[in-house]
Amino acid sequence: MSDWVEACATDDIDEEDVMRFDHGGRTFAIYRSPDDEYFATDGLCTHEKVHLADGLVMDDIIECPKHNGRFNYKTGAARGAPVCVNLKTYPVKVDAGKVLVQVG
């Protein structure tokens, strides 16, 4: 459970935005909140496996670019149609300007 991996530099992501991070055959989405906190979830929408990093972040919500499935990216909770399965979330820490994700 201690496999922290470097996802990106802190300034690779704009405030209130999301980017894609691929590691070990898996895809993650890394978020920077309006308060400059960082979060990570699985990178694919649980509705039709579309990359969430192409979606729009507004407040605490990531919205899937395809069919507007919405999730709270801090908790992974699905927020209504058409998705009903939550996203997995992953611990994130920032160290020396790098965003690290515990992918295990």
Partner 1 sequence: MTEMARGMVIIGAGECGGRAALTLRDLGYDGPVTLVGDEPHLPYERPPLSKEAMASDAPEIKAIASDAVLAERSIRHIHSVQAAAIDRAAHSVRLSDGSVLPYDKLLLATGATPRKLSMPGLGARCVYLRTFADALAIRGHLRAGSRIAVIGGGFIGLELAAASRRLGAAVTVIEAQPRILMRGVPAEIAEIVHDAHIAEGVDIVCGQGIASIADDGRQVRVTLAGGREVSADLAIIGIGAVPVTGLAADAGLMIDNGIAVDAELCSSDPDIFAAGDCCSFPLAVYGGRRVRLEAWRNAQEQGALAAKNMLDAGEAHAAVPWFWSDQYGLSLQIAGLSDEGKNTVRRDLDDGAFILFHLAEDGTLVAASGIGPGNAVARDIRLAEMLIGKRAKPAPEALGSQAVKLKSLLAA
Q: Provide the binding-site residues for partner 1, judged by CB under 8 A.
A: 16, 50-51, 54-56, 63, 65-68, 80-82, 84
Q: For residue 66, count other CB atoms closer than 10 A to its CB.
A: 16
CA distance 43 to 87: 9
> Which of 65, 67, 17 shows the shortest CA–CA distance to 47?
67
Tell me whether residue 55 or residue 76 sits nearer to partner 1 (CB atom). Answer: 55
User: Is 9 or 85 the residue whose CB approaches partner 1 more closely?
Assistant: 85
Among residues 36 and 95, whose Cβ is nearest to partner 1? 36
Please report how close the Cβ of residue 43 comes to partner 1 at its closest, in angstroms.
13
Nearer to partner 1, 33 or 102 (CB): 33
Give strand ranges (E) for 3-97.
Answer: 4-9, 17-23, 26-32, 38-42, 56-58, 61-63, 70-72, 89-90, 92-95
For residue 48, the minimal CB distance to partner 1 (Å) is: 8
For the bound state, the minimum distance from the C-beta of residue 88 to partner 1, rounded and expressed in Å, comes to 21
Q: Are 51 and 44 in contact (CB under 8 A)?
A: yes
**Residue 69: CB minimum distance to partner 1, A:** 11
